[in-house]
Amino acid sequence: MLLRTFKHLNYLIDTDIKWRINSFHGQDGNGGVIGVCHDLRVNVGEVEVRTPVFVVDECNQDLLLGWPWERAVQASMINERDGSVTWEIRSADGRRVVRFVGVTGEHERNRSYARLPDEERDETDPLNM
């Protein structure tokens, strides 16, 4: 979760950790991780689990749910034919199964090309061919 969200919620944070979030690109050497809130209750679609939640300084989302949460809810990600991504999660007892769209097929980053042929290019940039 973002540091500003953490401060608003006033949870206890453990800053004496040696964990790293590999897919998160922060400013410092520990992947931008400030600390972790251990055993926090997270409820998505009425599927509630307790999981560690990392606190980071800067991020595009208010909350990052990673592998610990995915394992706890037995998350499955399905790439659909229309380009959307559907997630399926389960409660610990298996009684509740929730499916939701994580990314729509029309999302701006969901495309099969790097740029349109008519997009302007910066001719002074050697990496922009």
- What percentage of residues in the chain have a pLDDT greater than 90? 33
Number of domains in the chain: 1
| Residue at 76 is within a domain | yes
pLDDT band at 54 (very low <50, low <70, confident <90, very high): confident
Residue 46 has pLDDT above 70, yes or no: yes
H or E segment to which residue 129 belongs: none
- Distance between CA atoms of residues 75 and 40, nearest Å: 18
- Distance between CA atoms of residues 10 and 21, nearest Å: 22
Residue 29 has pLDDT above 50, yes or no: no
For 72-111, how does the pLDDT look when each residue is reduced to its tens digit (9 = 90+)? 999 999 999 988 999 999 999 999 999 999 888 887 766 6
| Residue at 8 is within a domain | yes
| Residue at 122 is within a domain | no
Domain of 27, in residue numbers:
3-103
